[in-house]
Chain A
Amino acid sequence: MGHTWAVGRHPLHDVAIVGVANTEQARRLEGHTSFSIAVEAVRMALDDAGLGPGDVDGTVGAMAGALEYQLRCGPAWRGMGPANAAGVVAAGLAIAAGYATTVVIADGGAAVHTDRAKTAPWTRPENEFVMPLGMFTAAEFALIARSHMHRFGTPPEALAEVAATIRNNGSINPDAVMTGRGPYTAADVLASPMIADPFHRLDCAIDSEGGAALVMTTRERAADLPGEPVYVLGGSGDRFGPAYQHPPSWDLGGRTDLVNGWIGRRAAEQTFAMAGLSPADVDVAELYDPFSFEIIRQIEAFGFCGEGEGADFVLDGHIGPTAKLPVTTDGGVLSYSHPGASAQMLQRVIRAVQQLRGSCATNQVADAEVAFVSNGGAGALFCDVLALGREAAS
């Protein structure tokens, strides 16, 4: 906050996304490991970009090292974070600064969640101050949701409306793991079994398997490639500490300015400033939806509506696929897929790229020019955002 950039002068404006791909997503993908499905996504994304392994000189993600070796792309630059929206920012800055020319960001999950008596491994962080107390991701996000409900009177019906809307986006998406499930009403969500109050089963992310990859390069090089590039207009992230180790309270240690409850607001303000845009300019918001409530919190934090107005915004029908702010149009992690630790976050970026290219088979937002992307949430003490454009920042 406080810093403004002349439009067109931010380093991220020198890069473009030139290839994206999701592999098949399914509850189980027999015969695959997390790495093999990630490699399949990389092959598809490079094909999409019109590039080959020899063009890559940078990688991002938990599998970056293995990918460097698989692609024999060294000496390469390696981003040190996960393959998600923050990874897109890291890769973009590295490309703009000349550390690499073409970066692959990839992740995948397969054959990881094998003990079905337990929730997925990524929902159960091991820490002495959470695990003995039965904490897992649903409870972490429920504690933030409860705080908001208490402060603003947010009703369970608003959470259910979010879940129904996004799950219905997935229901009509033939590529979604939950395709054909639904349609759901808010009443269906409220009637599903309680998992961690106020979250019912249909308020919670699914778990599944699949790969995702994205290719970035310089804006100059993008102009010579066969595909239609999508441009990074801005991006940033907010963090308050390690996820799932400390109580996910709204004000986290008594802060009164930018509290954990509004995590992502600073990042969004920075991102809009970089892009020279405001929330009103966003045509589609591919927001991260680990639990239904997080969407309500995010649209308030990012400035799409005022504090405490998220429930009315949702209940008034503003997040549907043809509404003023279509949200998570592929079904998100509630319905499309949730393949592990970070691929599902990268998938929000991929969907935004597809929206701006006009290539979505379902829920294509007409003439989408600007897409906003988020990852993470207040229950996890981090929130990353991106603004992408069909046109480059001028």
Chain B
Amino acid sequence: MSPSGSGEKNASGVGTWLAPQRAGIPTPSPSLVSEPFWAGARAGELRYQWCEACGVAVMDPQPACPRCLGSELEWRVSSGRGTVSSFTVVWRAPLPAFQVPYAPAIVEMAEGFTLLTNVINCEVDQLKVGLPVEAVFVDIEQDVSLIYVQPDEANLAPGHDQLAT
């Protein structure tokens, strides 16, 4: 993997490598319902909720199952593996604290829930719908970790472009 900033530069000197963000960005204010998710992020686990009665995986955290409204949701730990279903690359950030480019994405996780995150540790032009990814945990500041995804090299289909090294 390339270190941050080693990708190609465009005319304005901005790289094309997707790096994690650093301290200074807005950080989450967890609720009673979401706190286990964020605690999981700090512990290196992608936690999601599971309704045993319905067999439904729930994300982002909710007080009840969306199918039966039952409140007996159990926290489970995801494999972290998923597939990008949509993505964008942001070149003009909403706040100066965000380093561009970065790549918000919707990922369909193996356990059946949907995760909104950013794809990191690859070049912008490697992004595509269907890209296999795996969770990666990044400490942004003390007690704040974000769950990003990066290309899952083990699950790249034969013939898929090799990752930058």
Contacts of B106 in A (CB 8 A): 143, 247-249
Q: Which of B27, B90, B118 contacts A195 (CB 8 A)?
A: B90
Contact A130 B116 (CB under 8 A): yes
Contact A134 B98 (CB under 8 A): yes
Q: Are B92 and A249 in contact (CB under 8 A)?
A: no
* Stretch from A119-127, A216-224, A383-391 contacting the other chain: A119-127
Contact present for A119 and B91 (CB under 8 Å): no
B78 in the interface (beta carbon within 8 A): no
Indicate which residue in A118, A144, A146, A197 contacts B91 across the interface (CB closer than 8 Å).
Answer: A197
Give the interface size bracket for B toward A: 35 or more
Of B26, B29, B90, the contact of A139 (CB 8 Å cutoff) = B90
* Contact A134 B129, CB 8 Å, known A129-B116, A195-B92, A196-B91: no
Residues of B within 8 A of A253 (CB): 66, 114
**CB within 8 Å: A-B pair count:** 111
Decide if A129 touches B28 in the complex (CB within 8 Å). Answer: yes
Q: Does A360 have its Cβ within 8 Å of any Cβ on chain B?
A: no
Which of B29, B38, B91, B129 has the most C-beta atoms of chain A within 10 angstroms of its own C-beta? B91
Q: Roughly how many angstroms separate A245 CA and B116 CA in the complex, as a whole number?
A: 10
Instruction: Select which of A128, A143, A193, A201 is within 8 A of B104 by beta carbon.
Output: A143
The answer to whether A128 touches B30 (Cβ under 8 A) is: yes
Residues of chain B within 8 A of A123, CB atoms compared: 94
A139 and B93 alpha carbons, distance in the complex (Å): 10
Q: Which of B21, B86, B118 contacts A146 (CB 8 A)?
A: B86
Q: Would you call A133 and B88 a contact (CB within 8 A)?
A: no
Known: A128-B28, A128-B31, A143-B88. A118 touches B129 (CB 8 A): no
B157 at the interface (CB under 8 A from A): no
**Measured between C-beta atoms, what is the minimum distance from A321 to chain B in Å?**
30
* With A143-B106, A247-B116: A118-B28 Cβ-Cβ less than 8 Å: no
In the complex, what distance in Å separates the CA atom of A201 from the CA atom of B93? 12
Residue of A nearest to B30 (CB): A128
Q: In the complex, which residue of chain B has the Cβ closest to the Cβ of A252? A: B114
| Bound form: Cα–Cα A193–B34 in Å | 37
- Among the interface residues B29, B60, B88, which one has the most CB atoms of the partner chain A within 10 A? B88
Q: Could you tell me if A134 and B85 are in contact, using CB atoms closer than 8 angstroms?
A: no
Given A143-B104, A247-B114, A253-B66, check contact A197 B88 (CB 8 Å): yes
Is the pair B87, A146 in contact by a Cβ cutoff of 8 Å? yes
- Is the beta-carbon distance between A193 and B27 smaller than 8 angstroms? no
User: Contact residues of A with B, CB < 8 Å?
Assistant: 117-119, 123-124, 126, 128-136, 138-139, 142-144, 146-147, 150, 193-199, 201, 245-250, 253
